Structure 1
Amino acid sequence: MKTITTTQELIAYCDHARSFPYVTVDTEFLRERTYYAKLCLIQLAVLGTSSDDDAVLVDPIAGEDMSLDPLYDLFRDEKIIKVFHAARQDLEIFYIEGGVIPAPLFDTQVAAMVCDFGEQVGYETLARKIAKASIDKTSRFTDWSRRPLSDAQKNYALADVTHLRDIYEYLAKRLERTKRTPWVEEEMAILRAPETYVVSPEDAWKRVKVRTVAPKFLSLVRELAKFREIYAQDRNVPRTRVYKDDALLELASTKPQTISDLGKSRLLLREARKGDIANGIIEAVKTGLACPPDKMPVAKTARDKSQINAALADLLRVLLKTKAEEVGVAQKLIATASDLDDIAMGDFDGLAMKGWRSEVFGRDALRLCRGEVALSADGTSVKIIDLT
């Protein structure tokens, strides 16, 4: 197996890859101790069986002077499809590291959900069912930043892209046969959007689950979350190493304004009660308290369950199950339980009512809400009856 550690070797492989219609891609990384993922290894494969030119490892740690620009140029090449499985974290790494999102893009996990393989099906399952391959999982949780890599690690890493070729070709043909390729392309548009991978400190508070939605309280949550995000990004440490969400909410409630006040916290880490973090907390609280009313954040109004037509929501669940089984698509990819509750409340602007989802489910859901269709049991199945 070939491991690339120099820019010239990477240029040669990327030039070779341009002779093929697609390249399969995977990464190994660490993220437990950092805010941003540490890229440890990149696996690439093109059509082939045994040649070192077909499947390679790109090692940015052993090749610390190697430039990844040739790879990023390949990612930008619109003539070559870049194939991933469960691509989101890999794409985030490439966007943060190189400012590039591969295109065109194909995610086999999304495609498998459209092709009746269930919800968020794992790579090992697809490898077993499609490529008839068994993957040794013993190297999955190893430290990918340590060198040298063992042969077992290398073999495990390469398996993530070699079997992916068979998986991709099978799914791509099935999508073409069922005319569902545009469905997957709609999903890829979300993965290609840069905003998918950027956390703005100003919006970090929206990720914190709160029970109190009073604007004054939310002002404090916003400033504390903003400071935490900036601190974590600047120092490349996990946000939980600054302070966890439960501590953040405690701080928003107690409003500490001095170092002495911080010492009374039950949930704040010891390291956060002094130095830059402590000063940042006090300043964030001060800013939150001084926020004028017209600048205070407003939480998305919690759904009032009393406004949900429960019977209609139940019918929508039956309709969703029926349509998902009929077309062989994972239910959660079409609509979530929250989507169904929104529809039952009269909100028809959600994702489930747009694009291919409208074709599969949304149109009939709308007709059901309007009383234009009914559901009827037919033995072990459910039929949709037109009432117009």
Structure 2
Amino acid sequence: MRKNTYFAQLSIIQIMASSYKVIIDTLSNLDLSPINEIFLNDKILKIVHAPREDFEIFYRLFKKLAKNVFDIQIAAGICDFGKYLSYSDICSKICLVHIDKTYQRSDWLKRPINANMLNYAIKDVEYLEPIYKVLQQIIQDNNLQNEYDKQIKSLLNIENYIINVQKAWQKVRFNNHSESFIHKMKIMAAYREEQASTIDLPRRHFISDEELVQICQYLPTSNKDFENLKLNSRYLSKQKYRTQLADLCLAIQELGE
């Protein structure tokens, strides 16, 4: 889960194999290397739903991505059930079961986890295998394997899980697409990404997109400049970050941007 941090935090791992069900408490200082061995074993099929955030966590832990993965969200989209469906929606459409989402937004980092939450958590994996069998049959019957392989290959592209500050500007919402402004935004967005990941804070909690746009527009180089902008980020009231940003703004000005 990811709430007030840059990096998603691992709370529990739910696994089901045949009739065997288990929930692993990852906050109990357990050795997770056996889980990694399963992930890397290409003879073991891992059936998952929208695992991007999970894979981010495991890549950060083990520097490798899972092998032999079947993502039911990708497959459901290819099979015309609908794109980017939630797990509960897929369960409803394929298994005709209703998944109670009451505990979806609960604090899964809080201990102990109550019995109702544990029951909800195990249902997250209970229907994966029957859903897989239905979707895999549809893919096979309709010659959709190549399209599925193409999309799963994209999901497992390791570049997706490496922090690339040079591309951070693409995640910023702004309207000025002039070459000069984009150049400034690339510099400022890279700075935001570096700092946010260093202090493990969501990028927009560190500096909002709107504030980043203002900084690119006005290039503040002094405390007075920052105060005139009336920025709301509490981090931009700290001298450390003002100085770093002012240095970047001065460098941009010296280049004549």
Shared fold, TM over 0.5:
yes
Equivalent of 2:3, from 32, 37, 44? 32
Tell me what 1:288 maps to: 252
Match of 1:56 among 13, 22, 30: 22
TM-score of the superposed pair, with normalisation by structure 2:
0.93
1:221 CA displacement: 1.6
Question: What's the CA shift string for 1:159-214, capped at 9, x where partnerless?
Answer: 01011111111111221222222221111000010111223112212322333233
Partners in 2 of 1:234 and 1:270 — Cα distance? 17
Amino acid of the residue matched to residue 55 of structure 1? K
CA contact (8 A) 2:174 2:209 kept: no
With over 3 angstroms needed to count, the CA separation of the structure-2 counterparts of 1:280 and 1:148, relative to structure 1, is same
**Where in structure 2 are the equivalents of 1:1-388 lying within 5 Å?**
29=1, 31-48=2-19, 54-61=20-27, 63-64=28-29, 66-291=30-255
Q: CA deviation at 1:264?
A: 0.8
State the shift of 1:78 in Å: 0.8
Q: Any idea what SS the aligned residue of 1:264 has?
A: helix
Q: Secondary structure at the match of 2:125?
A: helix
CA-atom RMSD in angstroms: 1.7
Judging changes above 3 Å, is the alpha-carbon distance between structure 1 residues 202 and 288 closer, same or farther for their aligned structure 2 residues?
Answer: farther
Which 4+ stretches in 1 moved above 6 angstroms? none
CA distance in 1, matches of 2:234, 2:12: 35
- TM superposition shift of 1:68: 1.2
Fraction of identical pairs, as percent: 28
Give the AA of the match of 1:32. K
Change (3 A) 1:114 1:270: closer
Question: What amino acid sits opposite 1:184 in the alignment?
Answer: Y
Q: Which amino acid aligns with 2:15?
A: L
- The secondary structure found in structure 1 opposite 2:95 is coil
Change (3 A) 1:117 1:281: same
Which protein is richer in strand relative to its size?
Answer: 1
Q: Give, in whole Å, the separation in 2 of the partners of 1:83 and 1:289.
A: 52
Given that residues 76 and 135 in structure 2 are in contact (C-alpha distance below 8 angstroms), is that contact kept between their aligned partners in structure 1? yes
State the 1:292 CA deviation. Answer: 7.2
Q: 2-side partners of 1:170 and 1:191: how far apart?
A: 21
C-alpha displacement of 1:247: 0.5
CA deviation profile, 1:122-154 (whole Å, cap 9, x unmatched): 211221232232222111110000011111111
Secondary structure, aligned partner of 1:39 = coil
Distance 1:155 1:111, change over 3 A: same
Aligned residues: 257
Confirm or deny: 8 A CA contact 1:82 1:105 kept in the other structure. yes
Q: Structure 1 residues 260, 196: closer, same or farther in 2, change over 3 A?
A: same
Report 1 or 2 for greater relative contact order, CA contacts < 8 Å, sequence distance ≥ 6.
2
Q: Which amino acid aligns with 1:47?
A: S
Deviations 1:28-66 (A, max 9, x none): x2x121000111111111112xxxxx11111111x22x1
Q: Which runs of 5+ in 1 are unaligned?
A: 1-28, 49-53, 294-388
TM-score (norm 1): 0.63
